[in-house]
Each structure stands twice: as C-alpha cells, then as structure tokens.
Amino acid sequence: MSDFVTLSCPSCGGKLTVQKNTPTYICDYCGTEHKLREEDIEYFGRCPRCHRNDRVEKITAIVNRHDQLGAKFPSPEQLNLDEFVERPDLLIQQKLNSLPNPQKPDNVFTTRSKFFFIVSAFMFIQFLCAGSFYIRVTALIPEFLWLICSLVLAALGIYFSKKSKRLHREIELEILRKRSVLEQELVVKANEVRREMTGLRRQLKIRYEKIYYCHRDDLLFIPGDPDYASCNNFVSYLTQILQTRNKA
C-alpha cells in the first residue's frame, strides 16, 4: 500500500477531483480549489515552454489518428535523405547515360567505302555505255580501263567496308565492356547507399518515437533535451542528429 498516494482535501479531508487539462484539484465536498506547485507536477513529458504536460502528446499517437495535424509529421520512411548521404551511384548512373550508342554507323572508313562504291558504280556505267556521249568525250581512255578502274574502286569499297565493320565491332565491344563494369560498380554502390540509408532511417525512427508535441504552445520537444522546435520545422528538428553527424 506504500505505492499509493491518497488525494484528499487538506481543508476538510474530502475527495479531490482532478480538473481536465489543468494542474488543478477541486474538493467534491467543500468545493475548495487546490493547485499543484510546479515542482510537484510530473516532470516527464513537460513542455519546455509552459512547463506543463496536460496538453502534451506523443507525435506517434497523433499520427495514428490520421488527422490533419498528423499529416505534418511524416515518418522517417517518407523523408528524402539524399542530402545526408553521398551518392556515388548517381555519378555512375550519369556515366552510364553518357556512353555513346554502339549502333552509330558513321566513321571515316564508312565514308571512304561509300565514296569508292559510288565512283565504282559510275565508272561501271560508263563501261556499259560504250559509244555514248561520255565515251566519246573520253575516247582517249580505252574502254577496258573503265572496267578495271571500276573493279579496283569496288575492291577498295569492300576493303573499307570491312574495315568499318571491324571498327564498329571494336567500338561496340569496348562500350559494352565499359557498360558492364559500370553496371557492376553501380550495383555495389547502390547497395552501400541503401544500407547507409537504412541505418539513418533507423536512427531517425528512434528519435521519432521520442518526440512529443505540446498543443498549447505548438512545440516539438524530447523530454530532457534542451532543443525544441515549432510544428512547421518538424523535418529539420527530426533530422537534427544527421546534420550534427555531417558536421562532425
């Protein structure tokens, strides 16, 4: 029985009734009103501004009501923590995005190949049109030379075409190799970032569950912590430990 404290009126000994939301007691018998001294009010959960806890509530309880006020207290899982974590994975992703398309066909050998094929076709047409105006103009050149030149230029076109394809293949393989290396590195760095994010959210969740809100003063605080903040600065107040961590 030593753990119980009997509340009775010091004037008449009648039963005292606690008034809701105030540190005031009224005697049911004589009506005398009694007020607790501030030092006698329960310390835990007292607002650092009004020094009372009758209008104080944990933010987790507020959030569970799903009302308008609870929407102001997003959980750690809902926060974007990019500013508190280095993101090498984003840099790697940028490098991946900047890699050229291996299917692009144009290079110096492709251009040369096209040129020789076009000239070869022109000269072969000249050979087929023997006796035409073009041949009369170039009568000094034997007809068979048109054919020989046409075949030589066609051979050069084939040579540069194969060289162009070989170069395309080498470039494509090099790009694919770089892409494979970057993708593997991206997976490793993304997992590291994910683990770090998980650790930070775990820290924030512990702090989140300690925060109280005073409806009277619109104040967020943690019992025993000298710092407090207004409701509108909730995210900054919650992530305060991460800001301190980055400075350190």
pLDDT at 202: 93
Please state the rounded mean pLDDT for residues 193-217.
92
Lowest mean pLDDT among 34-43, 142-151, 199-208: 34-43
Percent of the chain with pLDDT over 70: 70
Please state the rounded mean pLDDT for residues 197-221.
92
Residue 46 in this model has a pLDDT that exceeds 60: yes
Q: Is the pTM of this model over 0.75?
A: no
User: Confidence class of residue 30 from pLDDT cuts 50, 70 and 90?
Assistant: confident
pLDDT in tens, 66-122: 888 999 999 999 998 888 888 898 899 998 888 877 665 556 667 767 776 777 777
Where in the sequence is the domain holding 1, given as residue range(s)? 1-36
With respect to residue 11, please indicate whether it lies within any of the assigned structural domains: yes
Q: Are the C-beta atoms of residues 32 and 13 closer than 8 Å to each other?
A: no
With respect to residue 176, please indicate whether it lies within any of the assigned structural domains: yes
With respect to residue 119, please indicate whether it lies within any of the assigned structural domains: yes
With respect to residue 93, please indicate whether it lies within any of the assigned structural domains: yes
Q: Within 13 Å, how many C-alpha atoms sit on residue 172's CB side?
A: 12
Distance CA 76, CA 235 (A): 9
> Are 16 and 115 members of one domain?
no
Structurally, the chain folds into a number of domains equal to 2
> Are 194 and 112 members of one domain?
yes
> Are 94 and 31 members of one domain?
no
Distance CA 57, CA 60 (A): 8
With respect to residue 150, please indicate whether it lies within any of the assigned structural domains: yes
With respect to residue 205, please indicate whether it lies within any of the assigned structural domains: no
Lowest mean pLDDT among 2-6, 50-54, 160-164, 200-204: 2-6
pLDDT in tens, 129-169: 654 545 444 554 566 666 677 777 777 777 777 777 787 78
With respect to residue 219, please indicate whether it lies within any of the assigned structural domains: no
With respect to residue 210, please indicate whether it lies within any of the assigned structural domains: no
Q: Are the C-beta atoms of residues 229 and 219 closer than 8 Å to each other?
A: yes
- pLDDT, averaged across the chain: 77
Distance CA 59, CA 198 (A): 22
Please state the rounded mean pLDDT for residues 182-191.
93
> Are 20 and 112 members of one domain?
no
Per residue, what are the HEC states of 78-93? Answer: HCCCHHHCCCHHHHHH
